[in-house]
Amino acid sequence: MSAFAASIKGWFAARHDRVGALPVRDQVEVGGARPVRLMAFDQTLVAVIVALMLLGVVMVYSASVALPDNPKFAAYAPTFFLQRHLMSLAIAFVVALATVQVPVAFWEKHAPLIFLVSLALLVLVLIPGIGKVVNFSRRWIPLGIMNFQPSELAKLAIALYAAGYMVRRMDAREEFFRAVMPMVVAVAIVGVLLMREPDMGAFIVVATVALGILFLGGVNARMFFLMAIVIVATAAVFLYFDDLRRARILAYLDPWNPKYAQGKGYQLTHSLIALGRGEIFGQGLGASVEKLHYLPEAHTDFLLAVIGEELGFVGVATVIAAFFWMTRRLFHIGRQAIALDRVFAGLLCQGIGIWMGFQTFINMGVNLGLLPTKGLTLPLMSFGGSAILMNLISLAIVLRVDIENRALMRGGRA
C-alpha cells in the first residue's frame, strides 16, 4: 500500500511540474505587474507579416528604381525610395517591439486621450505652414525623418475609442442616444476633418472600423443600419459638392472613354494594362513597363499593379491569400479574447482586422478596376512611412493581446 501511495504522490508531483511550466493565470500577470512570456506568441502570424513586408521592399524598389529618369525626381538616386522605405521599416520595427511590451490595459485606459490627440493632429495638419500640401491635398506633417500622416493615427485611434466606448456602454446598447449618438458625433468630427484635407479614403476606413466595432459589440441592428445610412448620406453630400471625387467616380464607370482616359481614368487604365500584361506568371521581376512613367504612384497606391505585371496572377493571388489569412487570424485572436471575458481587447483586435482587411480590399479593388480611385496604400507593402509605422504598431497590439490570451490559457490554445 505504501508503494502505491508513493506512486500516486509521484504522479501528482510530475503532473504539477508539467502544469507549472505552462503559461497559466497564476504564473503570469497580464495587467502590467510582471511581463508575460514573450516566447508564447503567434509565430505564424509574425512570419506572414514579415513575408508581406519583405515582398513589399522588393516591389517598392522595383516600382521606384526608374523614377529618377523623370525630371520631377531627377535629383533622387535610384535607391532613394528604397532607402526611405527601409528606414521607415526600421523605425516601425523598433516602435513595434516597444509596443508589444505595453499591457492592453494601458490602451484601454488611455483610449479617449489617444483619440483626442488624433483629433488635435487632424486639426494641426490643416493649418497653413504646418500641414504639407502634395497633389492638392494637405495630409502630412513634416517631422524631418518622415512626413507623418495623422489620418493613419486616426484609424487606430477610432478602433481604440470605439472598443473602449462599447465596453463602457454595455448597458446602453439598446438605447440609441446613449449607445450610438456619441459615436456618430465622434465619427462625424473625424470625417469633417478628413474631408477638409481631403482624404475620403481614410474617412471610409475610419467609418467602417467604427461601424464594425459597434456591430460586433452588440448594438441593435436597426440602430446600426441607421448609423450606416447617416454616414453614407454624409459621404454622398461631400461627393455632390466635390468635383474632383465626382469626376473620379465617373471615370471609374467608363475609364476607356477618351474624355477620361487621359485624365481621371489614366491611372486606372494603366493599372489594368499592367495587370493584363502580367497574365499567369508575369513578365519577370523588374520587367514591368508600366512603372516606366506610365503608371503614376506605382510604388504607393498602385503597387499591386506592378506585382501583377511582374509576378502575374500567381503573385497577386499569393498576396491576396496572405492578407486574407492575416485578417482571419486577427479576428480569431479577437474572438479568443472575448471568450476569455476580455471584451475591449477582443473588439480592438477585430477592429484592427476590419481596418487591415477593408483597406486591403479597397486598394486591391482600385487596382483591379472594381472600385473608384482612392488614395489608400496597400498595408505593410506600399511606400509610406506613417502608414507602415501605424500598421506595425496596430499589429503589435494584436500580438500583445494574443500573448496575454495565451498567458490565461493552459497550453496556449483556445
DSSP bridge partners of 132 = 140
| 23 located within any domain | no
**Rg of the chain's alpha carbons, rounded to an integer?**
24
Tens of pLDDT along 342-398?
999 999 999 999 999 999 999 999 999 888 888 789 999 999 889 999 999 999 999
> Shortest CA distance to 394 belongs to which of 115, 141, 100?
100
pLDDT value at 412 more than 50: no
| 19 located within any domain | no
pLDDT value of residue 19? 37
* Residue 175 backbone dihedrals phi, psi, to 5 degrees: -110, 120
pLDDT value of residue 174? 53
Question: Per-residue confidence at 100, pLDDT binned at 50, 70, 90?
Answer: very high
Question: Per-residue confidence at 71, pLDDT binned at 50, 70, 90?
Answer: confident
Annotate 317-335 with three-state secondary structure: HHHHHHHHHHHHHHHHHHH
| 280 located within any domain | yes
Tens of pLDDT along 266-319?
888 999 999 999 999 999 999 999 998 888 889 999 999 999 999 999 999 999
Q: What percentage of residues in the chain have a pLDDT greater than 90?
A: 52
Reported as half-sphere exposure (CB side, CA atoms, 13 A), residue 117 has a value of 11
Question: Per-residue confidence at 410, pLDDT binned at 50, 70, 90?
Answer: low
Q: How far is CA 381 from CA 82, 158, 185, 255, 411, in A?
A: 12, 23, 33, 26, 34
Query: CA 295, CA 394: separation in Å to the nearest integer?
Result: 30
pLDDT value at 78 more than 80: yes
pLDDT value at 230 more than 90: no
| 100 located within any domain | yes
Query: 261 or 86, which is more confident?
Result: 86
* Residue 287 contacts residue 279 (beta carbons within 8 Å): no
* Residue 169 contacts residue 200 (beta carbons within 8 Å): no
Query: Mean pLDDT across the stretch 324-328?
Result: 97
pLDDT value of residue 28? 43
Three-state secondary structure call for residue 134? strand
Query: CA 276, CA 148: separation in Å to the nearest integer?
Result: 35
* Residue 97 contacts residue 90 (beta carbons within 8 Å): no
pLDDT value at 89 more than 70: yes
| 28 located within any domain | no
* Residue 30 contacts residue 337 (beta carbons within 8 Å): no
pLDDT value of residue 199? 85
**Which range has highest mean pLDDT (3-7, 177-181, 231-235, 254-258)?**
254-258
Query: CA 354, CA 315: separation in Å to the nearest integer?
Result: 23
Which of 19-33, 86-100, 181-195 shows the lowest per-residue confidence on average (mean pLDDT)? Answer: 19-33
pLDDT value at 411 more than 70: no
Give the CA dihedral 211, 216, 217, 222, nearest 10 degrees: 60
Residue 240's Cβ-count burial label (10 Å; 0-12, 13-18, 19+) is exposed
Q: Which residue has the cell 465617373?
A: 250
Neighbours of 341 (CB within 10 A): 9
* Residue 194 contacts residue 202 (beta carbons within 8 Å): yes
The three-point CA angle 93-338-185 to 5° equals: 80
Query: 244 or 174, which is more confident?
Result: 244
Question: Per-residue confidence at 27, pLDDT binned at 50, 70, 90?
Answer: very low
Query: 256 or 79, which is more confident?
Result: 79
Is residue 198 reached through a cis peptide bond, with omega within 30 degrees of 0 on the bond before it?
yes
| 332 located within any domain | yes
Number of domains in the chain: 1
Query: CA 132, CA 203: separation in Å to the nearest integer?
Result: 19
pLDDT value of residue 322? 97
Cβ-count burial 151-171 (b if 16+ within 10 Å, e if not): bbbbbbbbbbbbbbbbbebee
Neighbours of 79 (CB within 10 A): 14
Question: Per-residue confidence at 8, pLDDT binned at 50, 70, 90?
Answer: very low
| 4 located within any domain | no
| 21 located within any domain | no
Q: For residue 156, give its domain range.
A: 34-412
Query: 65 or 75, which is more confident?
Result: 65
Question: Per-residue confidence at 17, pLDDT binned at 50, 70, 90?
Answer: very low
pLDDT value of residue 238? 73
